[in-house]
């Protein structure tokens, strides 16, 4: 389809629309003359270029564009205009009055006054500003105002007057800035010139309609040829949120490994989160700096009296202090998923394997590595005669199945409710040794009061948000909760 | 977890072995410590065990490493010599208890002094709960005239020059003007008299738990002999703090002397009487999953700085009081496992016959998600923490009770949401310049304060120039049909929605949600310039 006719028959309506205007200097001019928008013109130019009707060239150029204040000023007026406007009734103000009347910030006021003095439109004497220019001078647009309206302009094509304005404005805060932009220029090819000269045949069929099919009017008609190479407008499908999708995959893997999911409330009391997990009531972790406390008065939970008595007895025997139920009934935002394990343990089947993927909370200042709320995967395995080596087996399984880790190591660690305790580290191809999670065998002081007898309970927790970050290849934890729909629509 | 700084050279000298950096990184795991960063000779460590304050200084780490490399095994041989040093506790209401020690013949260099100060700080801040439960003071012994008195003084009764200042201040002035005074003044807030330690020449040594005097309470490289005291309310905090500090000084070859406290409390400290507990050999092997012989276990325990005695089926294990963490056999078993080496324990599968199962509502959630993805909807994730402004004011709701956090870090995250609708509107408000139509949904948790229950809800929003009630209703109809439940809509008036375009959703005759077109007042508050239709349903009905 190299022949002229073939090409002419493939021109789309938008291409036809701009074809008569290809003698124009730039895209903006076509937009104006063809009465269409810039995206359409660019798309049409791209189509035409694919058909070798025009030659496109893209060059980088430096443009003077509006800064954020510039955008504001073109709408509301430059500070010097605002200052001038106060002289509608009176011709002289004290500096202080002028500042108030013009409602400019101190910096803006200074800049405006300087600019007007330079133009000899005002005069400052004895702390008073007086209008100097004639009414006509004052009401005429200042060159800077004209300049701002003309932007963007390529730096190289600035006229002397524009250069002068640019010099003036560039030192003031974010009125104008220089931006490197891609500029598209185009030129008709020889083929293009000859096509442009000829009258366009517009009898091609654009869209096949049901009516044409019913009446058979399509017969003998020519369909416009499409440019099937050129880009089409984007569409968006339904996508899962990547972090939630990752968590769901983890859930499915844990279920496949025989774990049953635990559920609980995001608002918990201290009993299940601390007391049941053998953390004494004077423990530093229970202070305000590490747990969110609930302000509202909520009804206290009715906890099984037998369990309460056994926990009290254990605390008082081991820690030698007077354990108080009032301290245990306070409500907090769940700071760790282990609270679900504690609740489950009190009613666990033996043998039993349980897990939870829980939203947890800590009073941290939000930054690239901390969130106020995050996700944790936690769980327990309850069976007689389990060993530390059995725990290592489970951790090794997790490292391979969930984190896809090839090389791991077990490092001694401390958790208040497990003994022995271990931290699982894995070698990451980019970041070296990283921590995947913590685990241990629940202390007897935890198990006996909750279960009424001493059975081995392996407990584990995985830093699931970090795993999600590695999985998604992101460095900023805030991105797990990205509020940018474009990112969510486009993420790999 | 406390972070501490040590000098690598200092550690090597104290251990008597030159470790390479790689060796050290591995060896430090024995002290549950990891290197956070290294800068020339200075190592920044994270002390991984919050319950082992004896490992929060280079001396304690060296003590552990010496055992693991076999340089010095078994229980350390610290001894406190009896002496005539006497401190009289005259009765101090604000901090009733005191225990003391004297350490002589010290050679303190720059690193040693840094460690003493750091250990004092970590012990008092972390273990002593910000000095409330334990405050430790350390003094130049040679400047003190014995005997000493622990007593109390009225806020303006005396004057002394506190550490790091030039002028003499009264206790009241110290609380107002000294940096430490201001920092810890809450500990003496309601007191009419303040604790004072004073010697027989009437010199003030310190004002516990705030500050030492500049003359006696400053330890420098010239100091050879020191006096140490710890004050508080309970021996459970005071004695370990004193013991750990003195044990650290003992690692630096200090000679230890006991001090007798008389008067309101009577005690002779420090006490290096070993504690003993029994370890059942079979239980130890059962927990770790090993078949170690009794002798092997003994050897491992000796490396972990315990002394052992074989007693048939069990081992009598002795240790010094700086190991204040030991409560149960398990604490000792962990040390056996660590000394054996976690890396030497081969993972072993246990057969545990269980059936895996996800929460009941997950099935419904997955089904709903599949349906909505099929409608080209984008799943999003938002926070459950939000604020009153977003939950109530922007939503055009009256001041109703919502769950508030008592100690928020920022006003943005100060309430727990009771609905996903504000969260999703907030999301839309951040995407007003992106391509439309936008169709989004989330399954998330909310807290229902009336029922005192966490609820899983699904919320859907559709926004573009023609978004309307019909589309929201189409979605719920589609879901209802696909999941075959009966769904009825009843008109309601709700200030969040446009009047006449809002309905409550009844599923199987139970009130389960809401749908409608969001009121322009609400959209304005969120700075959204497109119509929004939404619906929210409880997932409880599916379980």
Q: What is d(CA B308, CA B279) in angstroms, rounded to the nearest whole number?
A: 10
Chain B neighbors of A333, CB-CB under 8 A: 385, 405, 416
Nearest CA in chain A to B439: A238
CA distance B352 to B527: 55
Q: What percent of chain B has pLDDT over 70?
A: 100
Instruction: Give chain A positions within 8 Å (CB) of B288.
Output: 387-389, 420
Helix or strand run (H / E) with residue B15? helix B8-15
Please name the residue ranges forming H helices in B271-356: 281-288, 294-303, 329-340
User: Which CA distances in Å does A291 have to A266, A298, A372?
Assistant: 13, 17, 10
List, in sequence order, every residue forming a beta bridge with B459; answer none if it has no partner: B442, B536
Do the Cβ atoms of A293 and B366 come within 8 Å? no
Whether ipTM exceeds 0.90: yes
Provide the CATH number for the domain around residue B263: 3.50.40.10
A430 located within any domain: yes
pLDDT in tens, A225-237: 887 877 788 889 9
* For chain B, counts of helices (H) and of strands (E): 15, 27
- pLDDT above 80: residue A125: yes
In a domain, A368, yes or no: yes
Q: CATH number, domain at B500?
A: 3.30.930.10
Distance CA B162, CA B213 (A): 4
pLDDT of the residue at A201 = 61
Across chain B, mean pLDDT equals 95
Element (H, E) at B374: helix B360-374
- CB-based contacts of B60, cutoff 8 Å, min separation 6: B31, B52, B54, B244, B247, B248, B251, B322
Domains: count for chain A: 1
Decide: helix, strand or coil at residue B347. Answer: coil
Return d(Cα B282, Cα B292) in angstroms, integer. 9
Inside any domain, residue B347: no
Q: Are residues B499 and B371 in the same domain?
A: yes
Q: At B261, which helix (H) or strand (E)?
A: strand B255-263
Read off the pLDDT of each residue in B48-58 and give the average, rounded to a whole number.
93
Confidence band, pLDDT 50/70/90 cuts, at residue B237: very high
The answer to the question of residue B351 being in a domain is: no
Does A152 have pLDDT greater than 90?
A: no
Do residue B64 and residue B86 come from a single domain?
no
- The β-bridge partners of B7 are B42
Chain B residues within an 8 Å CB radius of A299? 452
**Do B181 and B208 lie in a common domain?**
yes
Q: Report, as an integer, the average pLDDT of B327-336.
A: 96
SS (H, E, C) chain A: CCCHHHHHHCCCHHHHHHHHHCCCCCHHHHHHHHCCCHHHHHHHHHHHHHCCCEEEEEEEEEEEEECHHHHHHHHHCCHHHHHHHHHHCCCEEEHHHHHHHHCCCHHHHHHHHHHHHHCCCEEEECCEEEECCCHHHHHCCCHHHHHHHHCCEEHHHCCHHHHHHHHHHHCCCCCEEEEEEEEEEEEECHHHHHHHHCCCCCCCECCCCHHHHHHCCCCCCCECCCCCCCCCCCCCCCCCCHHHHHHHHHHHHHHHCCCEECCCCCEEEHHHHHHCCCCCCCCHHHCCCCCCEECCCCCCCCCCHHHHHHHHHHHHHHHCCCCCHHHHCCEEECCCCHHHHHHHHCCCCCCEEEEEEEEEECCCCCECCECCEEEEEEEEEECCCCCHHHHHHHHHHHHHHCCCCCCEEEEECCECCEEEEEEEEEEECCCEEEEEEEEEEECHHHHHHHHCCCCCEEEEEECHHHHHHHHHCCCCHHHHHCCCHHHHHHCC
Residue A234 distance to chain B (closest CA, Å): 10
Are B372 and A365 inside 8 Å of each other by CB? Answer: no
CB-CB under 8 Å, A395 with B347: yes
In chain B, which residue's Cα lies nearest the Cα of A289? B407
Do the chains contact at A420 and B380, CB–CB below 8 Å?
no
pLDDT the model gives residue A159: 87
The verdict on B393 and B330 lying in the same domain is no
- Is there a single domain that holds both residue B114 and residue B229? yes
Query: What is the pTM (predicted TM-score) of this model?
Result: 0.81
B374 touches chain A (CB under 8 A): yes
Say whether both B435 and B396 belong to one domain. yes
Interchain pair A392, B345: CB under 8 A:
yes
pLDDT band at A200 (very low <50, low <70, confident <90, very high): low
Specify if A403 maps to a domain: yes
Q: Is B47 helix (H, G, I), strand (E, B) or coil?
A: strand
Q: How far apart are CA B521 and CA B393, in angstroms?
A: 10
Phi, psi angles (nearest 5°) of residue A173: -65, 110
Is A295 within 8 Å of chain B by CB?
A: yes
Work out the pLDDT band at A170, boundaries 50, 70, 90.
Answer: confident
Q: List pLDDT tens digits, range A378-392.
A: 999 999 999 999 999
Q: Which of B286, B374, B383 to mutate to test the interface with A (most CBs of A within 10 A)?
A: B383
> B73 lies in a domain?
no
Torsion of CA B28, B32, B35, B41, to 10 degrees: -50
- Give a yes or no: residue A225 inside a domain: no
From chain A, pick out residues whose CB is under 8 angstroms from the CB of B129. 282, 284
Same domain, B366 and B478: yes
Q: Which two tokens stand for residue A178?
A: 């220089």
| A239 touches B at CB < 8 Å | yes
- Does A147 map to a domain? no
Residues 271 through 310 of chain B touching chain A, CB cutoff 8 Å: 286-290
Separation in Å, CA of A172 to nearest CA in chain B: 28
A296–B403 CB contact, under 8 Å = yes
| Window A:296-325, CB contacts with B under 8 Å | 296, 298-299, 318-321
Put simply, the chain B residues between 152 and 171 with a CB less than 8 A from any chain A CB are: none
Q: Is residue B61 part of a domain?
A: yes
Tell me the CATH number at B53: 3.30.56.10
B241 in any annotated domain: yes
Neighbouring C-beta atoms of residue A199, cutoff 10 Å? 5
Contact B366 A259 (CB under 8 A): no
pLDDT of residue A81: 87
Which of B68, B92, B115 delimits the end of a domain? B68
B359 contacts on A by Cβ (under 8 Å): 261-263
User: pLDDT tens for residues B348-394?
Assistant: 999 999 999 999 889 989 999 999 999 999 999 999 999 999 999 99
In a domain, A192, yes or no: no
For residue A261, the chain B residue with the least C-alpha distance is B358
With an 8 Å Cβ cutoff, is A381 touching chain B? yes
Which one of B217, B238, B269 terminates a domain?
B269
Backbone phi, then psi, for A415, in 5-degree steps? Answer: -135, 140
Q: Which of A253, A322, A360, A420 to mutate to test the interface with B (most CBs of B within 10 A)?
A: A420
Measured CA distances, A175 to A70, A138, A155, A160, A169 (Å): 4, 22, 16, 19, 7
Q: Does the pLDDT at position A40 exceed 90?
A: no
The CA distance from B215 to B120, in Å, is 19
Q: For A174, phi and psi rounded to 5 degrees?
A: 50, 40
Considering the domain boundaries, does residue B355 fall inside one? no
pLDDT at A27: 82
Q: How large is the average pLDDT for residues B484-503?
A: 94
Domain's final residue, options B45, B68, B91: B68
Residues B294 and B323 in one domain: yes
**Cα–Cα distances in Å, from B168 out to B128, B138, B174, B423?**
28, 20, 9, 58
What are B107-124's pLDDT values in tens digits?
A: 999 999 999 999 999 999
Q: Cβ distance B518 to B502 under 8 Å?
A: no
Report the number of distinct structural domains present in chain B: 4
Q: Residues A338, A417: contact at Cβ < 8 Å? A: yes
Task: Give the CA diameter of chain B.
Answer: 92
CATH code for the domain of A430: 3.30.930.10
Contacts of A390 in chain B (CB under 8 A): 289, 347-350
At B543 the pLDDT is 65
Say yes or no for a CB contact (<8 Å) between A390 and B348.
Answer: yes
Tell me the nearest-neighbour CA distance from A155 into chain B, angstroms. 29
Are A443 and B330 a contacting pair at CB < 8 A? yes
CB contact under 8 A, A412 and B30: yes
Identify whether A482 is part of a domain.
yes
Q: What residue numbers bound the domain in which A264 lies? A: 243-490
| B520 and B440 part of one domain | yes
B210 & B179 share domain = yes
Closest partner CB to B356 (pick from A259, A410, A412):
A259
Alpha-carbon distance B73 to B66, whole Å?
7
pLDDT given for residue B70 in this prediction: 95
Q: Is the pLDDT of residue B304 over 70?
A: yes
* Across A176-185, B338-347, B455-464, B516-525, least confident range: A176-185
pLDDT at site A1: 44
Residue B358's closest chain A neighbor by CA? A261
From the list B403, B440, B445, the residue facing A359 with the nearest CB is: B445
Across the interface, of B331, B357, B385, the residue whose CB is closest to A372 is B385
Mean pLDDT of A133-158: 83
Interchain CB contact of A260 with B (< 8 Å) = yes
Claim to verify: residue B164 and residue B110 sit in the same structural domain: yes
Residues B143 and B262 in one domain: yes
In a domain, A211, yes or no: no
Total residue length of chain B: 543
CA distances from B94 to A131, A321, A387, B151 (A): 73, 20, 48, 10
| CB proximity B132 to A under 8 Å | no
Residues facing B488 on adjacent strands: B506
Helix (H) or strand (E) holding B9: helix B8-15
Q: Residue B41 sits in which domain range? A: 3-68
User: Does residue B487 contact residue B387 with C-beta atoms inside 8 Å?
Assistant: no
Say how far apart CA B213 and CA A174 lie, in whole Å: 56
Q: How confident is the model at residue A9 (pLDDT cuts 50, 70, 90)?
A: confident
């Amino acid at each position: 389809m190299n022949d002229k006719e073939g090409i002419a028959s493939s021109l789309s309506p938008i291409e036809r629309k701009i074809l008569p205007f290809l003698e124009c200097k730039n895209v903006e001019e076509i937009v104006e003359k063809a009465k269409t928008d810039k995206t359409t013109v660019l798309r049409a130019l791209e189509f035409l270029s694919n058909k070798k009707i025009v030659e496109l060239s893209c060059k980088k150029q430096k443009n003077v564009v509006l800064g954020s204040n510039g955008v504001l000023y073109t709408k509301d007026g430059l500070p010097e205009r605002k200052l001038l406007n106060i002289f509608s009734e009176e011709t002289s103000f004290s500096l202080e009055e002028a500042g108030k009347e013009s409602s400019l910030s101190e910096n803006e006021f200074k800049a405006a006054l300087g600019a007007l003095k330079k133009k000899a439109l005002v005069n400052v004497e004895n702390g008073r500003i007086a209008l100097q220019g004639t009414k006509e001078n004052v009401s005429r647009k200042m060159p800077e105002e004209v300049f701002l309206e003309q932007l963007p302009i390529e730096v190289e094509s600035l006229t002397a007057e524009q250069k002068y304005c640019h010099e003036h404005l560039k030192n003031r805060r974010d009125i104008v800035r220089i931006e490197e932009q891609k500029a598209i220029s185009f030129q008709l090819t020889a083929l293009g010139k000859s096509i442009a000269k000829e009258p366009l045949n517009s009898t091609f069929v654009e869209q096949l309609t049901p009516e044409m099919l019913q009446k058979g009017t399509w017969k003998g008609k020519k369909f416009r040829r499409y440019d099937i190479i050129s880009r089409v407008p984007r569409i968006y499908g339904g996508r899962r949120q990547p972090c939630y999708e990752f968590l769901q995959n983890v859930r499915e893997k844990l279920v496949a490994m025989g774990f049953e999911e635990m559920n609980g409330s995001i608002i918990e009391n201290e009993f299940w989160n601390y007391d049941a997990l053998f953390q004494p009531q004077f423990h530093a972790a229970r202070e305000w700096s590490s747990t969110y406390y609930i302000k509202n008065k909520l009804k206290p939970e009715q906890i099984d009296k037998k369990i309460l008595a056994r926990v009290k007895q254990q605390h008082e025997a081991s820690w030698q202090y007077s354990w108080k139920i009032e301290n245990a009934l306070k409500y907090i935002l769940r700071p760790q998923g282990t609270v679900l394990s504690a609740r489950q343990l009190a009613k666990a089947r033996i043998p039993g394997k349980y897990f939870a993927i829980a939203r947890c909370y800590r009073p941290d200042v939000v930054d690239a590595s901390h969130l106020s709320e995050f996700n944790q995967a936690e769980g327990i395995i309850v069976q007689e005669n389990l060993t530390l080596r059995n725990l290592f087996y489970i951790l090794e399984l997790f490292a391979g199945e969930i984190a896809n880790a090839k090389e791991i190591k077990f490092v001694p660690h401390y958790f208040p409710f497990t003994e022995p305790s271990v931290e699982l580290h894995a070698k990451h191809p980019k970041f070296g040794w990283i921590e995947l999670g913590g685990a241990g065998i629940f202390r007897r002081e935890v198990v006996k009061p909750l279960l009424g007898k001493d059975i081995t309970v392996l407990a584990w927790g995985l830093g699931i948000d970090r795993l999600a970050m590695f999985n998604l290849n992101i460095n900023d934890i805030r991105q797990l909760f990205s509020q940018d729909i474009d990112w969510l629509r486009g993420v790999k | 977890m406390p972070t501490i700084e040590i000098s690598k050279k200092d550690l090597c000298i104290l251990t008597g072995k030159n470790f390479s950096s790689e060796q050290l990184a591995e060896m430090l795991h024995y002290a549950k410590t990891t290197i956070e960063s290294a800068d020339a000779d200075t190592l920044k460590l994270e002390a991984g065990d919050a319950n082992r304050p004896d490992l929060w200084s280079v001396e304690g780490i060296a003590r552990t490493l010496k055992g693991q490399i076999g340089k010095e095994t078994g229980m350390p041989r610290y001894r406190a010599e009896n002496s005539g040093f006497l401190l009289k506790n005259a009765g101090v209401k604000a901090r009733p208890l005191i225990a003391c020690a004297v350490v002589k013949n010290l050679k303190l260099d720059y690193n040693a002094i840094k460690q003493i100060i750091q250990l004092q700080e970590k012990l008092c801040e972390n273990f002593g709960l910000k000095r409330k439960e334990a405050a430790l003071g350390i003094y130049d012994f040679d400047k003190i005239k014995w005997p000493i008195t622990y007593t109390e003084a009225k806020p303006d009764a005396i004057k002394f020059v506190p550490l790091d200042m030039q002028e003499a201040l009264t206790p009241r002035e110290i609380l107002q003007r000294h940096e430490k005074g201001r920092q810890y003044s809450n500990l003496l807030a309601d007191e009419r008299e303040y604790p004072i330690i004073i010697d027989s020449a009437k010199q003030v040594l310190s004002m516990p738990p705030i500050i030492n005097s500049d003359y006696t309470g400053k330890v420098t490289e010239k100091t050879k002999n020191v006096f140490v005291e710890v004050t508080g309310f309970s021996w459970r905090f005071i004695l370990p703090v004193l013991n750990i500090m003195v044990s650290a000084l003992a690692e630096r070859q200090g000679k230890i002397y006991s001090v007798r406290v008389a008067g309101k409390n009577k005690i002779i400290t420090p006490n290096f009487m070993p504690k003993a507990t029994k370890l059942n050999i079979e239980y130890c092997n059962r927990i770790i999953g090993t078949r170690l012989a009794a002798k092997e276990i003994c050897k491992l325990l000796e490396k972990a700085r315990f002394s052992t005695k074989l007693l048939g089926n069990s081992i009598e294990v002795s240790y010094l009081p700086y190991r204040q963490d030991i409560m149960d056999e398990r604490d000792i078993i962990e040390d056996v496992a660590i000394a054996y080496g976690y890396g030497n324990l081969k993972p072993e599968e246990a057969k545990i016959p269980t059936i895996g199962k996800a929460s009941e509502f997950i099935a419904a959630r997955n089904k709903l998600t599949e349906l909505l993805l099929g409608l080209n909807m984008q799943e999003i994730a938002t926070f459950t923490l939000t604020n009153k402004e977003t939950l109530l004011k922007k939503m055009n709701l009256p001041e109703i009770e919502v769950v508030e956090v008592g100690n928020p870090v920022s006003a943005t995250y100060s309430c727990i949401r009771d609905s996903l609708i504000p969260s999703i509107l907030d999301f839309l408000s951040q995407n007003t310049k992106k391509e439309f139509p936008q169709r989004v949904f989330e399954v998330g948790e909310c807290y229902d304060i009336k029922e005192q229950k966490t609820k899983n809800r699904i919320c859907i929003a559709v926004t573009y120039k023609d978004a309307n009630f019909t589309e929201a209703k189409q979605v719920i109809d589609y879901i209802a049909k696909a999941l075959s439940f009966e769904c009825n809509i009843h008109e309601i008036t709700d200030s969040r929605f446009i009047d006449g375009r809002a309905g409550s959703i009844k599923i199987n005759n139970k009130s389960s949600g809401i749908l409608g077109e969001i009121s322009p007042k609400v959209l304005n508050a969120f700075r959204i310039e497109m119509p929004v239709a939404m619906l929210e349903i409880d997932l409880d009905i599916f379980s």
